[in-house]
Chains A and B, each alone.
Chain A
């Protein structure tokens, strides 16, 4: 007996639709949140503490209205949580301004510590793209315990900075003040080093990823207008709007650090050209970084581009008498100085 093909196809289409819907629901995990109202309170409290810490860190005063806007919580839902928090002595509410208590600050730092540690973990030990780190850490910061965070800290080799350049608070709540200034405040002719790339809001961060800008990069501003700032760095020219540029934290160069115009990326080295390796960008992390170092991509090493694959990528470079093929996105992370 041969079943009717039309009916069979319809049933198949129905089943496929159901499966895809289930996968989609699992992925967005909205259903999980619905059943965890107690955790939701904890999450809300922690998010508020974090926000308060950031506001205070920026030297501003937090108000209820501003908090509701920043956290995208309805005012009427925020008030009971704030009251609850004041009751458990995490915050003080004075004349409409909200201030963290000592206890609240410690709690906030703990959350920030876990967030930044998790970002560090994702950057070092997994292959997850950097545009996803923040979202994943946002979830993780509410679930890891202090002990687990400490274990993670040890396993990662006691890191002090997260992959965006932010300091990770210590177990006891120590943290250093950073003195970065926003990129948009630089004047024409200023040279600086990128110290921090803000990962929020996601839209702007994605734009920064597209520009292929990394922490540790040296830059020199060549043009600054009302809306845009233009600078050169590692052989490329970038033009950013002030809104985007304000999300990059920089430190102007000290006397002994000089901006070298000749410092470019390995991907810019054409076939047959010679160069000296300057170093590997901070953007290259974990296993990738160690592998490149093993191959000898170290300050001072001579390098020549020998071949290009007929499919465009990779290119083969001669380093330490060995031919190593690298893809362009890897070669982007190696800094060189061309030699005539």
Chain B
């Protein structure tokens, strides 16, 4: 009993003392540890005072973050990276395409024919699953294999943190982090990779903003769609000598619209849904160092390209199967696809699109790459356009713009449809690979659904408004 009393007294004494020490004794502890550490370092660490690299770094910083050249250099670097990616990817993409779709696909077809495999199994596996997977690989792999290593090299060199440093003032106004500039440009390669890249943002609120808005970066699965539609429809409006430049401007405007939506959504989210999340800004500017070329190449191929590609394949395979099935299973006299198209058509027309496009976006959630092939296939089979395609449920692309345009016009396309498709291609839900990645990164159904649903709401509203205004004029 005596003992207990003593303890109680001690506890009370301690509790009273806590009023007096204030609430900053944790800080004082940290300060104590730091000052001990620095006094020890001063005694035992000898600093070789040659600051050659330091001065070189400052000189380089002076140029790269100067008011005069800072933004110019950034624009130039970005343009070069994008140019190399687009130009450099053409050749390997063509090779993969002719190998996977031009050589292996017919060979497999012949093989299954000689083995006597029933048409439905052959169609399901080869025309559905194999076709979708092959398509995704051919379109996706080369640009990613070029884009990501270049990005990683710039990161390794130390340039990317400077970009974040230059642009932070701009992003701050939208309630975002300067490093979002990096994840945003990474998104131009692939949104899933962009979402993974948001790990560099250590502030919880700004990281969520970067994840949710990454989808507004036009990814490399969508660039080809934009270019194709712009060339066919928008380039055709102006005299031929201007058509190339006009369609180029149209595509770039869409990309800039994406940047606008990134800032707008960041601004909106940071003031509403994300207000309560913790926000801590910090940006370290590491010293410059020569990038390790081969190591970078290897790690970026493994870490970014292969993982993302694998996820894409995993999601593309079932999508191919679904596309084939809905075109080949009939209910009554029509296929499931045709029923759905008829059902969606009224709403599609209302927002300046059509049923085919909406259905294509539903079944092609796994990969934006297969949207155009799906649209072409569905249009041909639904409207019975003669002379194109290779059967129900078999996706295809046409070599000439003329043919593509003829198929689409047979499907009732107008200039409005084309413009709205370009807008909808920018503003719709992320592909399922990205959605899965967002879940992996946030571990939250709430933010995953926000990231998936918000863009499609924007897309529907924008398309709707454009269509009504178009019809009024």
- A238-296 with Cβ < 8 A to chain B: 279-280, 282, 286-289, 291-293, 295-296
Among A63-71, A224-232, A302-310, the stretch that binds chain B is A302-310
List 6 interface pairs A-B (beta carbons < 8 Å), by A numbering.
A125-B278, A160-B19, A279-B31, A298-B31, A309-B168, A323-B287
Using an 8 Å CB-CB cutoff, how does the interface string of A104-148 with B read, 1 for contact, 0 for none?
A: 000000000000000000000111110000000000000000000
Q: How close is A235's CB to chain B, nearest CB, in angstroms?
A: 21
At the interface, yes or no: B130 with Cβ under 8 Å from chain A?
no
Q: Which of A300, A310, A322 contacts B65 (CB 8 A)?
A: A310
From known contacts A307-B61, A324-B283, infer whether A160 and B23 are also in contact, taking CB-CB under 8 Å.
Answer: yes
Q: B278, A174: Cβ atoms under 8 Å?
A: no
From known contacts A9-B468, A310-B71, infer whether A316 and B285 are also in contact, taking CB-CB under 8 Å.
Answer: yes
Q: B27, A280: Cβ atoms under 8 Å?
A: yes
Q: Which residues does chain A contribute within 8 Å of B18, judged by CB atoms?
A: 158, 160
CA distance A289 to B282 in the complex (A): 11
Q: How close is A134's CB to chain B, nearest CB, in angstroms?
A: 15
Q: B277, A126: Cβ atoms under 8 Å?
A: yes
CA distance A144 to B195 in the complex (A): 37
CA distance A322 to B284 in the complex (A): 8
Binding site for A on B (CB under 8 A): 15, 18-19, 22-24, 26-27, 30-31, 34-35, 38, 58, 61-62, 65-67, 70-71, 165-170, 172, 178, 202, 204-205, 275-287, 346, 349-350, 464-465, 467-469, 471-472
Q: Which residues does chain B contribute within 8 Å of A330, judged by CB atoms?
A: 281
Q: A323, B168: Cβ atoms under 8 Å?
A: no
Q: Which residues does chain A contribute within 8 Å of B30, judged by CB atoms?
A: 293, 298
Q: Which residues does chain A contribute within 8 Å of B178, judged by CB atoms?
A: 314, 325
Q: Which residues does chain A contribute within 8 Å of B205, judged by CB atoms?
A: 127
Q: Which residues does chain B contribute within 8 Å of A316, judged by CB atoms?
A: 61, 165, 285
At the interface, yes or no: A51 with Cβ under 8 Å from chain B?
no
Q: Which residues does chain B contribute within 8 Å of A201, judged by CB atoms?
A: none
From known contacts A310-B166, A327-B172, infer whether A2 and B471 are also in contact, taking CB-CB under 8 Å.
Answer: yes
Please, which residue of chain A has its CB at the minimum distance from the CB of B202?
A291
From known contacts A9-B468, A159-B23, infer whether A309 and B285 are also in contact, taking CB-CB under 8 Å.
Answer: no
Q: B27, A293: Cβ atoms under 8 Å?
A: yes
At the interface, yes or no: A176 with Cβ under 8 Å from chain B?
yes
CA distance A279 to B69 in the complex (A): 36
Q: How close is B473's CB to chain A, nearest CB, in angstroms?
A: 9
Q: Which of A170, A291, A306, A311 contacts B282 (CB 8 A)?
A: A291
Q: Which of A9, A170, A293, A314 contacts B168 (CB 8 A)?
A: A314
Q: How close is A307's CB to chain B, nearest CB, in angstroms?
A: 6
Q: B280, A126: Cβ atoms under 8 Å?
A: no
CA distance A176 to B16 in the complex (A): 9
Besides A3-B350, A309-B168, A310-B71, 16 other A-B contacts (C-beta < 8 A): A6-B472, A126-B276, A127-B276, A160-B23, A282-B24, A293-B30, A295-B282, A296-B34, A298-B31, A299-B31, A300-B38, A307-B165, A309-B65, A311-B166, A323-B284, A326-B283
CA distance A176 to B464 in the complex (A): 63
Q: A8, B350: Cβ atoms under 8 Å?
A: yes
Question: 7 closest A-B pairs (Cβ-Cβ)?
Answer: A311-B169, A323-B285, A325-B283, A5-B468, A5-B471, A310-B67, A298-B34
Q: Which residues does chain B contribute within 8 Å of A300, judged by CB atoms?
A: 31, 34-35, 38
From known contacts A287-B280, A310-B65, A314-B283, infer whether A5 and B472 are also in contact, taking CB-CB under 8 Å.
Answer: yes
- A183-201 with Cβ < 8 A to chain B: none
Most buried by B among A12, A298, A311, A330: A311
CA distance A296 to B65 in the complex (A): 24
From known contacts A160-B23, A170-B15, A316-B285, infer whether A327 and B168 are also in contact, taking CB-CB under 8 Å.
Answer: yes
Q: Which residues does chain A contribute within 8 Å of B349, judged by CB atoms?
A: 1-2
Q: B277, A127: Cβ atoms under 8 Å?
A: yes
Q: B34, A128: Cβ atoms under 8 Å?
A: no
Q: B165, A325: Cβ atoms under 8 Å?
A: yes
At the interface, yes or no: A74 with Cβ under 8 Å from chain B?
no
Q: How close is A96's CB to chain B, nearest CB, in angstroms?
A: 36
Q: A1, B346: Cβ atoms under 8 Å?
A: yes
Q: Which residues does chain A contribute within 8 Å of B168, judged by CB atoms?
A: 309, 311, 313-314, 325, 327
Q: Which of A2, A126, A167, A287 contacts B19 (CB 8 A)?
A: A167
CA distance A125 to B278 in the complex (A): 7
CA distance A233 to B398 in the complex (A): 73
CA distance A307 to B23 in the complex (A): 35
Q: Which residues does chain B contribute within 8 Å of A9, judged by CB atoms?
A: 465, 468
